[in-house]
Amino acid sequence: MNGKSWTDYLYERHPPARLRAWARELTYFRFCRAYGGHANDGDHLLVSLHIETQTDLLRTLSALAVPVKRLPPDTPQPVPGVTYSAAEFSRFPVAMARFPGIGQPGHVEIAGQRAHVWSHGDRLNISVADTVDHYSVTGAAVASAKSIEALLPPIAGQVVDPPQDDRNCVCPRYYPDLW
């Protein structure tokens, strides 16, 4: 998608004035437009935190009051080639690739707000979307992100901006006119 097609898609649900207002309300979170198609993703607000060591990870999770899921070495894992029902498969904890003794947080509550926290390499991503339509961002999602942002100043040096380095991320690098 290029030119007008991209602009139409980017602003399809939220006009530039709304994205500008959200950009000015939020310090760390960025609005990320869904890739769409077969990606099965949705619009969301995203902040990414740089994590270098397991100590960084544990300190960051503690600052966010996100419980640490310790995974012993004998934690059951799915066996390749074995078929599992969705319910059976969902019972297997997902370990962080860089820190296999720690499970991915997944859907958690931070500052009383629903968020999704997931480790990707040297980053810990916190994503917020609407609590009813998980594929959309609304004013309620922005309010939730603002509540979570109140916990971030002590770890603000870890914030990676943009959290998603492409045009789908509404950030100063790609959309300076909205700041």
Digits of tens for pLDDT over the chain (179 positions)?
677 898 899 898 999 999 999 999 999 999 999 997 667 789 999 999 999 999 999 999 999 999 999 999 889 888 999 999 999 998 899 999 999 999 999 999 999 999 999 999 999 999 999 988 888 999 999 999 999 999 999 999 999 999 999 999 999 999 999 99
Terminal Cα distance for the chain, rounded: 24
Look at the pTM and tell me if it is higher than 0.85.
yes
Locate the domains of the chain by residue range.
Answer: 11-67+105-178
What CA–CA distance (Å, rounded) separates 19 from 24? Answer: 9
